[in-house]
Amino acid sequence: MACAILLFPHAGYAVELHEIDVDRGTGNLEKMLLEIANTGDSELSCTAELAHWYSEPVATIAAGSTAVIDLWFAPRTGTFALLNPSEDNMPVERLWCGIAGRAYETRDALPLNPDAAGPRRIACAASEDRVVCE
């Protein structure tokens, strides 16, 4: 008969949780409308990659249609953010669009330039098995 022994060398240590300071509201942010035009023939799914390995779907765009995303910009830090329902500032590491149903493997990153914050329009289209955004 086999026997296994599990050892937990740190089992006697407790983890102390600390409150995290989160920026809330739009007081230090500038609103930046981001218009994404699907100029191709395939439906697109767009996603924001947020800090701490979290992603959030931001739009599904039919062929020939446009979606407008309320993106926020923090000039002090040069970061872009989305707001959750509590108006927590959720830093955006990357935005991308891909073909719906295969979005991750066909994705292209949306060009975001902190030096040119302000309303912008980006056109995306499926080309072969890849999306191209400009």
Q: Which domain holds residue 53?
A: 30-133
Amino acid at 23: D
Domains: count for the chain: 1
- Provide the whole-model pTM: 0.80
By CB neighbour count within 10 A (0-12 exposed, 13-18 middle, 19+ buried), where does 63 fall? middle
Domain assignment present for residue 5? The answer is: no
Domain assignment present for residue 22? The answer is: no
Q: From first to last of its 134 residues, what are the pLDDT tens digits of the chain?
A: 555 555 555 555 666 665 656 678 888 899 999 999 999 999 999 999 997 788 999 999 999 999 999 999 999 888 899 999 999 999 999 999 999 999 999 999 998 888 766 789 999 999 889 999 99
Rounded CA-CA distance 41/43 in Å is: 7
Q: Give the phi and the psi of residue 103 in degrees, each rounded to 5.
A: -60, -45
Domain assignment present for residue 11? The answer is: no
Domain assignment present for residue 9? The answer is: no
CATH number, residue 126 = 2.60.40
